[in-house]
A and B are shown apart, each in its own frame.
Chain A
Amino acid sequence: MKLSEIADLLDCEVLVGGEDPSMEIEQVVASDGMSEILAFARSKELMITGLTNIQSIRTADIAGVSAVIYCRGKRPDKKVIEFAREKRIPVFITPMVMFDICGLLYARGMKGVS
């Protein structure tokens, strides 16, 4: 799916826009545990998390994911958003909970990484 389609599907608010909204996303990593993201991400995935601190963006950068979606409407502070912008990582928030997000994306053919 295109990143922009995912953002629409999940009713996302854009916090940091990407350079390429039509970027194709095939796989998803979803966790509040950053080591879990680091263990499974192979690069270019979409990262879904409820953790909104600076470490979430550091993890996204180290893991090389394509974009971050914060679930449950949790909003990172300005410093985190600024850091994501500096690292050129698109960031979105959705009011949906993790379970619903994963279910919707799975139904559209997106896969997890194992």
Chain B
Amino acid sequence: MAAELLRESFSLQGRNFDKAGEISGRIKVILRDLGIPAATVRRLVIVAFEAEMNVAMYAERGTLTFILTDEDICLEIQDEGPGIPDIELALQEGYSTASDEMREMGFGFGMGLPNMKKNSDEFRIESTVGFGTAVFARIGLNSHG
């Protein structure tokens, strides 16, 4: 069993483009200061940033938890939002349900979830339509994806 070294949870505000991404920037600094390799930090913060943007774009609110162990870093993002009816479709590059407003912000081109999956060693989404979505991502400390 991996030993847990650090666990932190952050609340995410839904429908707030301005703040979205702030937490990922903070996590980047925390992990860099802990001496985690830059390539691993990069993959992790891309997952966190895309997740934050998804909560900002679609959900009312959410939480993001990151857990550092001696083997890996895990991210758990849970939101209260509309949910994803077809997860397989949502994971296809180019598929998007974004509004014009989201696209004007530079997001919603159908690459967010694929980017998250690509940068994770393990990636799961669970969603209930009308309630919300939970995303779990794991990145090994020794992987270079």
Contacts and interface: CB of A to CB of B under 8 A. Distances in A.
Interface in B14-62: 17-18, 20-22, 24-25, 28, 38, 42, 45-46, 49-50, 53
What band does the interface of chain A fall in when counting residues whose beta carbon is under 8 Å from B?
20 to 34
Contact of A38 (B17, B18, B20, B115): B115
Contacts of B118: 39
9 contacts: A33-B111, A35-B109, A35-B112, A53-B105, A55-B20, A55-B21, A58-B22, A62-B21, A62-B28
A56 interface: yes
Interface string A36-58: 10110001000001010111101
B21 A35 contact: no
Contacts of A58: 20-22, 24-25, 49
B106 A51 contact: yes
Nearest to A53: B105
